[in-house]
Amino acid sequence: MENKLIKKYSYAWDKYDSNDMERVFELSERYKGFISKCKTERECVEEMVSIAKEKGYRDLNEIIKEKGKISSGDKIFVNNRDKALALFLIGTKSLEAGMNILGAHVDSPRLDLKQNPLYEDTELAQLKTHYYGGIKKYQWVTTPLAIHGVIVKKDGEKIKVVIGEDEKDPVFGVSDLLIHLSSEQMEKKASKVIEGEDLNVFAGSIPMKEQEEDKDKEKKDRVKKNVLELLNRKYGICEEDFVSAELEIVPSGKARDYGFDRSMIMAYGHDDRVCAYTSFEAMMQLENCGKTCVTLLVDKEEIGSVGATGMHSKFFENALAEIFELAGKYSGLGLRRALSNSKMLSSDVSAAFDPNYSSAMEKNNAAYFGKGIVFNKYTGSRGKSGSNDANPEFIAEIRNILDRDNVSWQTAELGKVDAGGGGTIAYILAQYNMDVIDCGVALHNMHAPYEIASKADIYETLRAYYSFLLNA
Ligand code: MN
Ligand code: MN
């Protein structure tokens, strides 16, 4: 009998020949390019829409406008407010037979600017922020930060902003207290060392020159006025325009290889763009399929999948209804059957075993760098609360599919029982009564400004997605 226990100890690296190694490193370069450039949900969606169009994907709304028809082999994308994206490759089987769905999120933890961000204190201009997602606040000080996002003016004009990525750009940052004066701070709990309201981003220190005619006027906030003047010259905006802006403060700089052997990647936003990018690539590699294949890349996962662009939105269901209609087959019952007959890999990052923090992990049920895509039967916290908890029948089917294609995979829980926990979008799609399981790439430093992923795991994850789309 084949000894399946061996799988637990096998590293993907061991099975690679020189051609495989080349493919692993080529994928890493493509991914590094993507993640270095796409640091907001909008930037991810914009880049993916442009690649999808090149691959022959058409905008669902345009097909509706043209009163077009949909049939097997058609490639369709649905862009939800530039922040979430659904991709469909229509299969030869009926939609009612169910779809093979990949899902991941494109939002990442960061600092968002408040609606009234700019102020001056003691001749220093700063920006107020409200952090987005779960972060260790002390990790975000004294590191170079960039501003990415959009400002929408009252007339609807949308101005894209990226400052702090080009080496000629200025960068931004949050200050920390010098160690010499930190005796009180160093006694604080980690959650209080840097408080949320203190994550203020420095923005300038030159006061606006006093004009002769202004001599008698109010002289306060001259540094702030100077910053506003610069913004007005560069973007044509006034202070009130911040009210209708989405400006995200993210770590500055490109993704880098990590380690002497370059086996890992250090980057901002692996969670969850490493799963989003590999899902997207698997989808782009596919030219035809039996069951209709779908990739969902959604926003707002880090704050509970809420809002019109989060997974709780009816966006996907509505898009599917439109597709049924264009295929000439719309019925409420047909739509429900399509959803409940579907299978989904809900992809999100997992925690990779870290020998520096081994006490948070249970070694037999932890994920390890280099052992491939991680499957989490369940996530949640305190007794699996809030988890999807996949069915073993479905897990058996996935094992079979991946083993046939010699994909490296492993299973894990997110840390020790009662050590903490986490959630994903899995339970939301499971509400349609479809089979869903959590899976993804394991990371070190999850939710830190720079997260770490293994190149072998990224490659095996792409292979797993491709096998699933074709064979589930
Ligand atoms: Mn995530
Ligand atoms: Mn996360």
Separation of alpha carbons 83 and 44, rounded Å = 8
Q: How many angstroms is it from 443 CA to the middle of ligand 1?
A: 11
Give the CATH H-level superfamily of domain 110-251: Aminopeptidase i, Domain 2 (2.30.250.10)
Please give the model's pTM, rounded to 2 decimal places: 0.96
Q: How many angstroms is it from 396 CA to the middle of ligand 2?
A: 27
Q: How many angstroms is it from 180 CA to the middle of ligand 2?
A: 35
Beta carbons of 338 and 99 less than 8 angstroms apart? yes
Rg of the chain over Cα atoms, rounded to whole angstroms, equals 24
One digit per residue, pLDDT tens: the chain, 472 residues?
455 555 555 899 999 999 999 999 999 999 999 999 999 999 999 999 999 999 999 999 999 999 999 999 999 999 999 999 999 999 999 999 999 999 999 999 999 999 999 999 999 999 999 999 999 999 999 999 999 999 999 999 999 999 999 999 999 999 999 999 999 999 999 999 999 999 999 999 999 987 766 666 667 899 999 999 999 999 999 999 999 999 999 999 999 999 999 999 999 999 999 999 999 999 999 999 999 999 999 999 999 999 999 999 999 999 999 999 999 999 999 999 999 999 999 999 999 999 999 999 999 999 999 999 999 998 888 888 888 899 999 999 999 999 999 999 999 998 889 888 888 899 999 999 999 999 999 999 999 999 999 999 999 999 999 999 999 9
The protein residues having their C-beta less than 5 angstroms from ligand 1 (an ion) are 271-272, 348
Q: How many angstroms is it from 311 CA to the middle of ligand 2?
A: 14
Return the SS3 of 413: coil
The ligand that comes nearest to the alpha carbon of residue 133 is: 2
Q: For residue 241, what are the CA distances in angstroms to 89, 112, 152, 163, 235?
A: 40, 15, 7, 17, 11
What is the spatial order of strands in the sheet that 75-80 belongs to?
58-59, 75-80, 84-89, 292-298, 99-105, 343-347, 435-440, 373-376, 409-411
Q: How many angstroms is it from 306 CA to the middle of ligand 2?
A: 14
Beta carbons of 67 and 2 less than 8 angstroms apart? no
Separation of alpha carbons 339 and 92, rounded Å = 17
The ligand that comes nearest to the alpha carbon of residue 106 is: 1
Q: How many angstroms is it from 265 CA to the middle of ligand 2?
A: 17
Q: How many angstroms is it from 188 CA to the middle of ligand 2?
A: 26
Q: What is the assigned CATH class of domain 4-108+268-471?
A: alpha beta
Q: How many angstroms is it from 425 CA to the middle of ligand 1?
A: 9
Each domain of the chain, given as residue ranges in start order, spans 4-108+268-471, 110-251
The protein residues having their C-beta less than 5 angstroms from ligand 2 (an ion) are 271
Q: Which two tokens stand for residue 461?
A: 């994850």
Q: How many angstroms is it from 272 CA to the middle of ligand 2?
A: 7
